[in-house]
Structure 1
Amino acid sequence: MKTSALNYRHLYYFWVVAKEGSLTRAAERLDVAVQTISTQLGLLEQFLGKALLAPQGRRLVLTEAGRLALGYADQIFLLGEQMQDVLAETDAGKTMRLAVGLSDSLPKLIASRLLDAALQLGQRVKLIVHEDDFESLLGNLSVHKLDVVLTDRPVPSGTTLRVFSHLLGESEISLFGVPPLAERYREGFPASVHQAPVLLPTRGNAIRGRLDHWFESKDVRPDVVGEFDDNALLNTFGRHGVGLFPAPSALAKDVGEQFGAVEVGKLDGVREQFYAISNERRIKHPAVEAILAAIHGRDMAVSQPAG
């Protein structure tokens, strides 16, 4: 085990050389002598016990160890740049920054309600919202590029990432459709949904299995005309009348206002859950605490989980 600490100036010189592709260009960028950079690189490689760069013609190319080191250096120095940006934006403590990851499967109406609670703080909050797939968001959370991830599923058991799931709440699910479709399939629901056109999340989505089980339990086989990873795109096709689509029952009014759709019927027993995932067992970010407080105070359109 090494007893001395990594010298980050040495690592920074390596990072610049790797980006520039030569000692000369790196020296010009850093405004130092080529010999200085060469010496620093040698000390870094000696410390790590690995060659990070190898000559190839007039250029320096990364070794396999160098490629691995560059990946970590990218994260380290990107975080350093973000720290400077955050401190510059803070305006003597008057602005709070909240970097949120949104799972692309999370209903956007739910996401907007959750985020709106953070904006109700007395302190000004600057939201930085990133939408991506679940696994990518967890990776970014684990290296502190995000403060919290809002999603529809907990962290899977057995993960090596040190992140923690916090159940925010849950909602019943209904089928919605534009008025002509709703009128056609509302009478006799749920039997009327047999062979009806529906839009569903893909099978990798947390709620898809519950929807399939519900259809099976009612002995109805809808015509699945579209499957979507992105919940927003699913809702867009629903707004265009392509098919019936599932959405949280508690947000029926919002679904009507945004997508021009009305409720066809509730899917009894089908509930969607919503989670905040953080790097801590206890959430400490004031803006995320505000989200939790709003839910626990039942200011949200989703119900607080029992227990």
Structure 2
Amino acid sequence: MNYKHLFYFWNVARHGGILRASEAIHISPQTLSGQIKLLEESLGTPLFRQRGRRLELTEAGDVAREYADEMFSLGAELEQVIRGYPRGRPVEFRVGVSDALPKSVAYRLLRPAISLDKEVRIVCREWRLDRLLNELGQHRLDLVISDAPTHAAVDAKPYAQRLGRSAVVFLAHPELAKRGSGDFPERLQDIPLLFPGEDSALRNAIDRWVKRRNLRLYTAGIFDDMALMAAFGREKIGAFPAPATLVDEFTADGPLVVLGQADGVYVDYYALSVERKTRHPCVAAITAAARDSLEPA
């Protein structure tokens, strides 16, 4: 059997079609289709059937998919184990960080990976979660750190381990904090607000909380980067929500005070991998240390 053909089949099965798979692994649809046809001829049975505009696995295709899942997962595990095996050679750790994740949270979660008793070379990629998950599925990343367990645009779902969570508070410059009447959170209605972008799990959690509380808020700004949002907050442009785990950091860097905690609102943080258990020492260090920097999962 040609294992390159099997790899192409595996990607088409995971992505649900030739076009999506071709975009993910950068192979033309025509080449991909031809390679799968060669695999089916060598096996003597069709692996896909056409169902409308979609490809559907045959019974033989289901069996082949199960074996391919295990084979390529074992291959990735082998690479992880062998990559740093020669003595004196640093362990390479390839990690993706969702661009919606606050940089400070990402650093706290990744810091244990470079604190091992062996030399580690970390390769860190920041991107949209859907792109990172595609890279993870191609075994180009060992781990993805995110505030969401998966992405709707990605067919293949990763194994998600929740590392921990953080409560959410609102911060503001002391002068803004004096505005408004009544208690928190109703007083937020008298203060301009800054919010993270819509791709952020924090934003989605806050939106649900605002609706549940029936609050009418004025949005003065929307930011994809939390550090930039905090910088605007220090300049009295507006109050803003933030993970409670970062309060000490934000208040230490400038004149910010806590207005109050959003009741029942939490942001979860996840380690995403292609295997349920991974032997990579950096992944083990991250998951073991997460409980010290976040609330328990």
Deviation string, structure 1 residues 45-83 (Cα, Å, up to 9, x no partner): xxxxxxxxxxxxxxxxx98636999xxxxxxxxxxxxx9
> Which residue of the other structure, out of 284, 288, 291, is the alignment partner of 1:289?
284
Deviation at residue 119 of structure 1 after TM alignment: 2.1
Structure 2 SS opposite 1:194: helix
1:214 is matched by which residue type in structure 2? W
Distance verdict in 2 for CA 1:6–1:161, change over 3 Å: closer
Which secondary structure does the structure 1 equivalent of 2:179 belong to?
Answer: helix
Change in Cα spacing, 1:259 to 1:104, as seen in structure 2 (3 Å) is farther
- Shifted more, 251-260 versus 167-176: the winner is 251-260
TM-score by length of 2: 0.68
**Contact persistence 2:180–2:189 (CA under 8 A):** no
C-alpha offsets along residues 152-199 of structure 1, whole Å, 9 cap, x if unaligned? 001247953252111110010000122322343597321111142111
SS in 1 for 2:144: strand
- Which ranges in structure 1 are unaligned for 5 or more consecutive residues? 8-61, 70-82
Over the residues paired in the alignment, what is the CA RMSD in angstroms?
Answer: 3.1
Assess if the C-alpha contact under 8 Å between 2:133 and 2:154 holds in 1.
Answer: no
TM-score when scaled to structure 1?
0.66
Partners of 1:186 and 1:126 in 2: CA distance: 53
User: Structure 1's 249 and 64: CA in aligned 2 closer, same or farther, altered over 3 A?
Assistant: closer
SS at match of 1:287: helix
**Count of aligned pairs between the two proteins:** 230
Matched, 1:65 2:58: no
Relative to structure 1, is the Cα distance of residues 260 and 275 closer, same or farther in structure 2, using a 3 angstrom cutoff?
farther
Asked whether the equivalents of residues 165 and 276 of structure 1 are also in contact (C-alpha less than 8 Å), the reply is yes
Kindly name which structure, 1 or 2, has the bigger radius of gyration based on alpha carbons. 1
Identity %: 33
Unaligned 5+ segments in structure 2 are 6-26, 35-78
Q: Does 1:299 align with 2:296?
A: no
Q: Which residue of 1 aligns with 2:246?
A: 251
Q: What are the residue-to-residue correspondences of 1:33-112 with 2, within 5 Å?
A: 65=30, 92-112=87-107
AA in 1 matched with 2:266? R
Alignment partner, residue 65 of structure 2: none
- Report the residue type matching 1:304 in the other structure: P
Could you say what secondary structure the match of 1:128 adopts?
A: strand
- Cα deviations by residue, 1:244-279 (Å, 9 ceiling, x for unpaired): 111111321111124542211111110000001011
**Any runs of at least 4 consecutive aligned residues in structure 1 with deviations exceeding 6 A, and if so which?**
none
